[in-house]
A and B are shown apart, each in its own frame.
Chain A
Amino acid sequence: MTHQTNHFTSKVQQYTEQIRAGDLASLSSLFDVTGVRLVRYATGITGNQHDGEDIVQAVLTKVATDPNLILDRDCSWAYLLRMTRNAAVDLLRRQSRSKVSDKGTLKSVVVQTEYRLENDTKQKIWVAMNRLPREQREVILLKIWEQMTFEEVATILQLAPGTVASRYRYAINKLRHSLASISVERSQHEIRS
């Protein structure tokens, strides 16, 4: 467990214990500490910020009403991420069920890239990320955005670290292909300069 994750976990633990003791004001602190990261993670999985925020709201409400949900775990921050991930995956499943056509065939579920970025390069990265299979995307999110080790990612996703590492490699290679245009632009820029 990294020092960063340890520090974060102790903060999450502290605020959750205060919530359990009846101090609802600690919920603001819990949101301040975890809100950005949870929304980013949920948005990354669903591909839609609105859905991501709904998920975080539902998860934090659940934690506030029953703090033991995460206090009884070995790593409360990891469990909070897992709750968020499970809620996001549930939402994607519900959305995919609702896309079953009248003939009973499942339409290809493409995660809607409703998150609009002003920077063209970032928009390309966002689209490339959303083209990844969900299983690979969530590994990338935890590994790069949350700076976690393969072992920590494996704990959250309940997978073997080897599986996580291979998903990461596949994802990086796919991103390399998808972001080839950025690489070409960079080369042209280097030639011009």
Chain B
Amino acid sequence: MKSGHDEFEDSLTDLEIEKLVESLGQEIRPSSSLRPAILSSIKRVTIDQIAHRKLSSFAITILLLIPMQPDIEQVSSKWRDANFFQPLRRVEEEIYLNKKDESDSTNWAAHDRFFKWRKNHVEQFARVMRGTQQKASPMTP
């Protein structure tokens, strides 16, 4: 049956045209390079996304730490006071008392103890900063 266009008696029917167009569609195939190109493009984009996410979480951590800065400073100053200045004051007091009551050699011995303790303390601090679990040697001067 013709398509209703009687002026073109020999013209193609709707169905014939549809079949011709359909056969053309079957000829079009993606090139073999498309699949690897898509996969590598997605891999690249995904890696970029992961890097972006890591960077974002780092930035968020920094942003969260900023308001906590006074607390961190307070904790660190307490730690410094308890572990450094108090023993230092004790040594100074000891030296002062020794100076009054003891001989020079006793004074020098107190000095030596203090420097030995300070060396240990610095090492311990370095270990803490490195995040190691090693225990520091006794800090008592």
- Report which A residues bind B (CB closer than 8 A): 24, 27-28, 31, 35-36, 39-40, 43-44, 49, 53, 56-57, 60-61, 64-65, 115, 117, 119, 121-122, 125-126, 129, 140-141, 144-145, 172-173, 175-176, 179-180, 182-184, 186-187
How many cross-chain pairs have Cβ atoms below 8 Å apart between A and B? 103
Knowing A27-B39, A36-B30, the reply to whether A175 touches B46 (Cβ < 8 A) is no
**B27 interface contact, C-beta 8 A:** yes
**B21 interface contact, C-beta 8 A:** yes
A129: chain B residues at CB < 8 Å are 21, 24
Cross-chain contact B22 with A144 (CB below 8 angstroms): yes
| Chain B residue total in the interface (Cβ 8 A) | 31
B12, B21, B29, B37: most-surrounded residue (chain A CB, <10 A): B21
B14: chain A residues at CB < 8 Å are 172
Knowing A44-B28, A57-B34, the reply to whether A145 touches B42 (Cβ < 8 A) is no
Q: Which of B12, B28, B41, B46 contacts A183 (CB 8 A)?
A: B12
B28: chain A residues at CB < 8 Å are 36, 39-40, 43-44, 49, 115
Cross-chain contact A126 with B24 (CB below 8 angstroms): yes
**B35 interface contact, C-beta 8 A:** yes
B25: chain A residues at CB < 8 Å are 40, 44, 141, 144-145
Offer 30 A-B interface pairs, CB within 8 angstroms, sorted by A. A35-B34, A36-B30, A39-B28, A39-B29, A39-B34, A43-B28, A49-B28, A53-B31, A57-B34, A57-B37, A64-B45, A64-B46, A65-B46, A125-B23, A125-B24, A129-B21, A129-B24, A140-B21, A144-B18, A144-B25, A172-B14, A175-B17, A176-B5, A176-B8, A176-B12, A180-B8, A180-B11, A182-B12, A183-B10, A186-B12
In the complex, what distance in Å separates the CA atom of A22 from the CA atom of B24?
37
Cross-chain contact A179 with B17 (CB below 8 angstroms): yes
B37 nearest CB neighbor, chain A only: A57
- B-side interface mostly: helix
- A-side interface mostly: helix
